[in-house]
Structure 1
Amino acid sequence: MNIVLNKEKIENINSDLELVLIKNKKNLNSKIKKVLDEINFFSSAYNCFASQNEKKLYIYVNDKSNETFKIAFSKALNSVKSYNIDSIKLDIVQLKKELKINNIVEGILLGTYTFNKYLNDKKKNDIKIIISTYNSITKYEDLKKKLAYSLSLSNSVNYVRDIVNSAPEDYYPKVMASDALKIAEDSKINCEVYGEDYLQEVGMNAMYSVGKASRHESQLIHLSYKPKKPKAKIVLVGKGLTYDTGGLSLKRGEGMISMKCDKGGASALLGVMKFLSENDVDIEVHSILGAVENMIGGDAYKPDDVLKTYSGKTVEVTNTDAEGRLVLADCLTYAQKNIKDIDYIFDFATLTGASIGAFGGYTTAVMGYNEKIKKLITKASNKSGELVGFLPFNQFMENKLKSSIADMTNTSSNKNGGAITASLFLSNFIEKENKNKWLHFDIAGPSYRKETWGYNPYGATGCAVRLVVRFLENINK
Structure 2
Amino acid sequence: MTTPKLSLTDSAVTKLAVDALIVGTAQGTDGLQLAPGSEQVASAFDGDLRQVLTSLGATGKADEVVKLPAGGKLRAKVLVATGLGKAAAGGLTGEQVRRASGAAARALTGVERAATTLSEVDLSAAVQGTVLGAYAFTGYKSNSGDDPVSEVEFVVADAKADGNAHALKGATAIGEAVNTARDLINTPPNDLFPASFAERATELGRAVGLEVEVLDDNALRKQGFGGILGVGSGSSRPPRLVRLRHKGPKAAKKVALVGKGITFDTGGISIKPAAGMDEMTSDMSGAAAVVATMVLAARLNYPLDITATVPMAENMPSGTAYRPGDVLTMYGGKTVEVLNTDAEGRLILVDAITRACEDEPDYLIETSTLTGAQVVALGKRTPGVMGSEQFRDRVARLSQAAGEGGWPMPLPEELRGDLDSKLADLANITGHRWGGMLAAGIFIEEFVADGVEWAHIDIAGPAYNTSGPWGYTPKGGTGVPVRTLAAVLADIADQG
State the TM-score, normalized to the length of structure 1: 0.93
In structure 1, the gaps of 5 or more residues are none
Change (3 A) 1:323 1:92: closer
Aligned to 1:10: 13
Aligned to 1:464: 481
Contact 2:412/2:438, CA 8 A, preserved across alignment: no
Change (3 A) 1:187 1:357: closer
Query: In structure 2, which of residues 52, 56, 62 is the aligned counterpart of residue 39 of structure 1?
Result: 56
Deviation at 1:10, TM superposition (A): 2.3
Describe how 1:49-198 pairs up with structure 2 within 5 A: 49-54=66-71, 55-61=78-84, 62-63=86-87, 64-81=92-109, 85-91=111-117, 98-122=120-144, 123-133=146-156, 135-136=157-158, 140-186=161-207, 188-198=209-219
Change (3 A) 1:257 1:405: same
Tell me the distance in 2 between the aligned counterparts of 1:14 and 1:125: 19
Tell me the distance in 2 between the aligned counterparts of 1:221 and 1:282: 22
CA offsets 1:347-385 (integer angstroms, 9 cap, x no match): 11101000111101111111112x321232133213311
Deviation at 1:306, TM superposition (A): 0.9
Aligned to 1:476: 493
Contact 2:108/2:148, CA 8 A, preserved across alignment: no
Contact 2:364/2:454, CA 8 A, preserved across alignment: yes
Change (3 A) 1:310 1:85: closer
**Which amino acid letter does the alignment assign opposite residue 438 of structure 1?**
W
* 1:409 and 2:427 aligned: yes
Aligned to 1:366: 385
Deviation at 1:196, TM superposition (A): 1.0
Deviation at 1:454, TM superposition (A): 3.3
**Which amino acid letter does the alignment assign opposite residue 314 of structure 2?**
E
Number of residue pairs matched? 464
* 1:455 and 2:472 aligned: yes
Aligned to 1:443: 459
Contact 1:183/1:277, CA 8 A, preserved across alignment: no
**Which amino acid letter does the alignment assign opposite residue 255 of structure 2?**
I
Change (3 A) 1:11 1:255: closer
Aligned to 1:327: 348
* 1:384 and 2:407 aligned: no
Tell me the distance in 2 between the aligned counterparts of 1:250 and 1:141: 55
Contact 1:183/1:273, CA 8 A, preserved across alignment: no
Deviation at 1:310, TM superposition (A): 1.3
Contact 1:110/1:456, CA 8 A, preserved across alignment: yes
Range that drifts further, 184-193 or 194-203: 184-193
Deviation at 1:139, TM superposition (A): 5.5
CA offsets 1:386-436 (integer angstroms, 9 cap, x no match): 1111221222111111111111111111111110111111111112233xx
Contact 2:97/2:118, CA 8 A, preserved across alignment: no
Aligned to 1:211: 232
Q: Alignment partner of 1:41: what SS?
A: coil
Describe how 1:257-272 pairs up with structure 2 within 5 A: 257-272=278-293
CA offsets 1:2-35 (integer angstroms, 9 cap, x no match): 2211232222321122212233457754654443
Aligned to 2:29: none
**Which amino acid letter does the alignment assign opposite residue 22 of structure 1?**
T
Tell me the distance in 1 between the aligned counterparts of 2:188 and 2:197: 13
CA offsets 1:29-60 (integer angstroms, 9 cap, x no match): 46544432323312734433222143422233
Aligned to 1:351: 370
In structure 2, the gaps of 5 or more residues are 27-31, 72-77
Tell me the distance in 1 between the aligned counterparts of 2:204 and 2:224: 28
Contact 2:395/2:455, CA 8 A, preserved across alignment: no
Deviation at 1:141, TM superposition (A): 2.6
Contact 1:332/1:429, CA 8 A, preserved across alignment: yes
Range that drifts further, 150-159 or 55-64: 55-64
**Which amino acid letter does the alignment assign opposite residue 100 of structure 2?**
A
Q: Alignment partner of 1:199: what SS?
A: helix
**Which amino acid letter does the alignment assign opposite residue 455 of structure 2?**
L
Describe how 1:245-324 pairs up with structure 2 within 5 A: 245-324=266-345
Tell me the distance in 1 between the aligned counterparts of 2:160 and 2:250: 29
**Which amino acid letter does the alignment assign opposite residue 418 of structure 1?**
G
Tell me the distance in 2 between the aligned counterparts of 1:281 and 1:124: 34
Tell me the distance in 1 between the aligned counterparts of 2:380 and 2:346: 20
Change (3 A) 1:46 1:352: closer
Tell me the distance in 2 between the aligned counterparts of 1:224 and 1:16: 43
Tell me the distance in 2 between the aligned counterparts of 1:88 and 1:454: 18
Aligned to 1:200: 221
CA offsets 1:169-213 (integer angstroms, 9 cap, x no match): 000111111112112324631000001111111211121011012
Contact 1:211/1:292, CA 8 A, preserved across alignment: yes
Change (3 A) 1:46 1:445: closer
**Which amino acid letter does the alignment assign opposite residue 196 of structure 1?**
D
Range that drifts further, 35-44 or 252-261: 35-44
Deviation at 1:333, TM superposition (A): 1.2
Tell me the distance in 2 between the aligned counterparts of 1:307 and 1:85: 55
**Which amino acid letter does the alignment assign opposite residue 282 of structure 2?**
C
Change (3 A) 1:469 1:302: same
Aligned to 2:75: none
